[in-house]
Structure 1
């Protein structure tokens, strides 16, 4: 929810948090300061994170309200990175964390945490989100460290030259061990996509990794990069992802979709790859032995 109001003569000259308390009396001062700190406050459509900033008459103040349990102070330490060199880094994105800033939140997103890490090692470039994972999806996210690297990986993504491997859990048992879906996708509502002849080309290759207890583990390799592509293509195949209720999946503690790995050729022909471990919820829901993790690989929590 976004609350919007305009500063009048009565509030002009006050601190932002004091003025916001008068504009939005239903919120406590603590709630207002939390919104400001977490990047959910705009003045005249510009992000402001200083509660003591003075406001003036005519300023438009917008507060994006976010549930308190989503305020996760995400931090990346060097030893936690999945990959790093002078051009790129890769991190593990957990379920429930936003890939990039929203009107409600800056702090606690992967974008912000990566930028903080880059500043901590002396880099001045901002974090650039060149690809995203849905809030309910876990796994690998790559970030370029400078503009030239951003151009390179952006072009590779557009050309389909970044190999992505996803793991998913679905209900039921496919008739085929492997199959390919070639079905264009288009937006059907604000938050949903579907197969449509008027949509953009979308192709995904699927392979069965294991079955048991009415659950099938699937490996998905998207050959294009459309929004919700794997989710829609699996639902279109008759096997919606467990936990993906938007596309017909049965309820679960999380959406069972995980970006396992990303691989591409970087500068000077170097092969760049990152692999993300599974979290406990995903492993517990999976058929036994479907996702054999290499010895010594940690489980993400």
Structure 2
């Protein structure tokens, strides 16, 4: 276990004729387009991005021929440490890393999980990730959700991936086992926000952030359904909240699972497996995005984890035992 040293970014550019007379923050966004506008504005305000050696305000005008110079230090959070935790990496180059997250791994340090997280593992695997906000993590999976995640290895890749997520051009498709028999697929368009009383939970609420999920049936069982869900937005607990909202909560979901249900006259093995399923039955199966450096469309698929497959097998056997 080791802490990560701070690292410094140095960039320099001359304002071309066609950008002369514009606001500093607008010019900086053009000249240093690998960094987000909000990050550049913060560096300007902190005096880390100067014009001809002087500190200006983001709205100040800059002239053609002026030299913009950026000298910014990326500081690691004090509690962030690099830890040698095994990662299941499915793709990696100098720009991005795609991994298969196991159940039980928290993505980002928080209260109760100061270390032992995916972020700590990433800092060990790629120490330079200290240069990137949240060590390159641009989207999250819940602790007990398995499957594919993309991580940015550079500031430039992070900026491009965040833009894609905001533009909804990243395709994230999940599979879940839900309680109840779903008759047909549908779209859930229902805003999500913090639950009024239980602050650790999310809920469909008026005034929440827009949230859209599309689900379809893969396989029906006697009292459960295997579904595929495509996210259009990425709100906290979105699939879990949306499926519970339409009356089909996920198997094993401790927060949104609702009433435990078993098929009538089911085998003791199936009853026990449904009752003891250790997590929400949710897996990030497919991930598709434009590579942040090449622009090439890329797609990955993650096989279903063993516990998910075992439960599907038991549900299939139960259905076949009662056919006819």
Band of TM-score, shorter chain: 0.5 to 0.7
Structure 1 284/73 Cα, relative in aligned 2: closer, same or farther at 3 Å?
farther
Shift of 1:212: 2.3
Distance in 2 separating the partners of 1:98 and 1:241: 20
Q: Give yes or no for the alignment of 1:179 onto 2:211.
A: no
Equivalent residue, structure 2, for 1:99: 107
Give CA-to-partner distance per residue, 1:103-149, whole Å, 9 cap, x none: 34344211111221113xx7774522211111111111110110000
Equivalent residue, structure 2, for 1:278: 304
Gaps of 5+ in 1: 1-44, 50-71, 291-301
Equivalent residue, structure 2, for 1:264: 289
Q: Give yes or no for the alignment of 1:75 onto 2:90.
A: no
CA contact (8 A) 1:262 1:274 kept: yes
CA contact (8 A) 1:210 1:289 kept: no
Distance in 2 separating the partners of 1:278 and 1:156: 26
Give CA-to-partner distance per residue, 1:215-234, whole Å, 9 cap, x none: 21010001111111111110
Distance in 2 separating the partners of 1:234 and 1:48: 35
Q: 1:157 aligns with which of 156, 160, 165?
A: 165
Structure 1 213/271 Cα, relative in aligned 2: closer, same or farther at 3 Å?
same
Structure 1 273/115 Cα, relative in aligned 2: closer, same or farther at 3 Å?
farther
Distance in 2 separating the partners of 1:73 and 1:289: 38
Distance in 1 separating the partners of 2:148 and 2:281: 15
What SS does the corresponding residue of 1:168 show, helix, strand or coil? strand
Aligned residue runs from structure 1 range 36-51, under 5 A: 46-47=78-79
Shift of 1:191: 1.2
Equivalent residue, structure 1, for 2:255: 246
What stretches of structure 1 move > 6 A for 4+ residues in a row?
none
Aligned residue runs from structure 1 range 50-129, under 5 A: 74-76=85-87, 80-119=88-127, 125=131, 127-129=135-137
CA contact (8 A) 1:82 1:275 kept: no
CA RMSD of aligned residues (A): 2.4
Question: TM-score, normalising length from structure 2?
Answer: 0.62
Structure 1 101/158 Cα, relative in aligned 2: closer, same or farther at 3 Å?
same
Distance in 2 separating the partners of 1:48 and 1:248: 33
| Count of paired positions | 218
Q: 2:240 aligns with which of 231, 244, 247?
A: 231
CA contact (8 A) 1:166 1:221 kept: yes
Distance in 2 separating the partners of 1:230 and 1:218: 11
Structure 1 284/138 Cα, relative in aligned 2: closer, same or farther at 3 Å?
same
CA contact (8 A) 1:138 1:259 kept: yes
What SS does the corresponding residue of 1:255 show, helix, strand or coil? coil
Question: TM-score, normalising length from structure 1?
Answer: 0.66
Equivalent residue, structure 2, for 1:200: 209
